[in-house]
Amino acid sequence: MSDQQASPMDNDMIVADHDAPRFPIRLRWTIFVGLTVAASVFLLTSIVLDMERDAWLKSQEMQAEIQVQRLGDELKIPMLAGSTAEVDFIIQNFSKSIPNVTAVYFQDQTGKKWSIGATGNIKDIIAHTTLPDTTLHLSTQELWFAKKVMYSGSDVAVVAVQYSEDAWESLAIALMQRMFFAALFVIVVASVLVYWLAGRMSKPLEEMAEAAQFVADGHYDHRLNIRGNDEFTDAATQFNLMVSELQHKKEMREVLGRYLNPELVSDVFDGQRSSALVNRKQEVTILFADMVNFTSFSESTKTEEVVEVLNQYFEVFHSIITYYGGHVDKYIGDAVMAVFNHPKEDEQHAHNAVLAGIAMTIACKKLAIQRQDGEVVSFRVGLNCGDVIVGNIGAAERLEYTVIGDAVNVASRMGGLGKPNEVVLPRVSFIAAGKGFIFEDMGEIEVKGVSHPLQCGTVSIDDETLKDDIGLAIARAFDMTLPTSAREMMGDI
Q: pLDDT per position in the chain (493 positions), as tens?
A: 444 444 444 444 445 555 556 667 778 878 888 888 888 888 888 898 889 888 888 888 888 888 888 888 888 888 888 888 888 888 888 888 888 888 888 888 777 888 888 776 888 888 778 888 788 888 888 888 988 888 877 888 888 888 888 888 888 888 888 888 888 888 888 888 888 887 777 777 777 777 788 777 777 777 777 776 777 777 778 878 888 887 777 777 776 666 566 666 666 666 555 444 567 889 999 999 999 988 888 888 888 888 988 999 999 999 999 999 999 988 888 899 999 998 888 899 999 999 999 999 999 988 888 887 778 899 999 999 999 988 877 776 777 778 888 999 999 999 888 889 999 999 999 999 999 999 999 999 888 878 889 999 999 998 889 999 999 999 888 875 344 444 454 455 5
- According to DSSP, residue 377 is labeled P
Using CA atoms, how far residue 50 sits from 37, 46, 165, 175, 180, in Å, is: 20, 6, 15, 12, 16
Asked if residues 309 and 391 have their Cβ atoms less than 8 Å apart, the reply is no
- d(Cα 283, Cα 315) in Å, to the nearest integer? 27
- d(Cα 453, Cα 451) in Å, to the nearest integer? 7
**CA-wise closest residue to 458 among 488, 419, 402, 491:** 419
Q: What backbone phi and psi angles, to 5 degrees, belong to 284?
A: -140, 170
Q: What is the pLDDT of residue 28?
A: 80
* Cα angle 230-233-234, degrees, rounded to a multiple of 5: 90
- d(Cα 440, Cα 427) in Å, to the nearest integer? 10
Q: What is the pLDDT of residue 379?
A: 93
Q: What are the structural domain ranges in the chain?
A: 16-217, 218-259, 275-492
Asked if residues 326 and 340 have their Cβ atoms less than 8 Å apart, the reply is yes
pLDDT digits (tens, 9 = 90+) for 162-171: 888 888 888 8
CATH topology of domain 16-217: Beta-Lactamase (3.30.450)
* 88-94, long-range: CB < 8 A, 24+ apart: 88/114, 91/116, 92/116, 94/67, 94/161
CATH topology of domain 275-492: Alpha-Beta Plaits (3.30.70)
Asked if residues 475 and 367 have their Cβ atoms less than 8 Å apart, the reply is no
3-state SS assignment for residue 244: helix
**CA-wise closest residue to 376 among 364, 361, 360, 388:** 364
| DSSP state letters, 266-282 | HHHHHT---GGGS-EEE
Of the chain, the end-to-end C-alpha distance in Å amounts to 47
pLDDT digits (tens, 9 = 90+) for 67-95: 888 888 888 888 888 888 888 888 888 88
Cis status of the peptide bond prior to 99, with omega within 30 of 0: no
